[in-house]
A and B are shown apart, each in its own frame.
Chain A
Amino acid sequence: QVQLQESGPGLVKPSQTLSLTCNVSGGSINSGSHYWSWIRQPAGKGLEWIGRIYSGGYASYSPSLKSRVSISVDTSKNQFSLQLTSVTAADTAVYYCAREFMRGWFDPWGQGNLVTVSS
């Protein structure tokens, strides 16, 4: 059974880069029929899709974050990563990684990693 687990710093200073990694266990990230996505949830707000990557390295991003986001994949480590540059307090959120089925749903999700942007 595939499981995902996010890891990374819980505190990032304004203007710096937020970096998170999602480790995939119980299955290969090279499955060929899935994307690997990042989704976030600011406190008290709804979910927001950030972007996704295919095992071959092709990534797609939310238009609202595209200028600051980069998602990469390391198939040798069975993990994928998120970088969000020039962060502000508005980027404070719980960040989730999830497997995205090509026909349109997310399953499973990681437990989430709270990232606070503060000096």
Chain B
Amino acid sequence: QSALTQSRSVSGSPGQSVTISCTGTSSDVGDYKYVSWYQHHPGKAPKLMIYDVTKRPSGVPDRFSGSKSGNTASLTISGLQTEDEADYYCCAYAGGYTFWVFGGGTKLTVL
């Protein structure tokens, strides 16, 4: 059981938009701005897509965006492309005792 709750799967057609949610608590997602999202193609290194809730690293397309409301963070991917098909994980800071918590991952299928 992961500390952050993500839906197991989501799907969309090329060109469409999808949103992946990540629900935590007032002690992690709700308490800090340190929420990040990672794209993981099996067998490869996870890749940072969003940090500090809304920021995109250099090189990440602006089709990827992040937001947060209360204890739930969200990753929205617009203009879906086939190469976006991957697992996506959220991560949040949970204070100086637990440090970091992750979600269980959401499998994105681009139909």
Chain A residues in 8 Å Cβ range of B45 = 4, 96, 108-112
A110–B93 CA distance with the chains assembled, in angstroms: 21
Stretch at the interface among A24-32, A74-82, A99-107: A99-107
Residue of B nearest to A47 (CB): B102
Decide yes or no whether B46 CB sits under 8 A from chain A.
yes
The DSSP consensus for interface residues of chain A is strand
Q: How many residues of B contact A (CB 8 A)?
A: 28
Contact between B48 and A104, CB atoms less than 8 A apart: no
Do the beta carbons of B52 and A103 come within 8 Å of each other? yes
| B28 CB to nearest A CB, Å | 12
- Residues of chain A touching chain B, judged by Cβ–Cβ distance below 8 Å, are 4, 37, 39, 45-49, 52, 60, 62-63, 96, 98, 101, 103-112
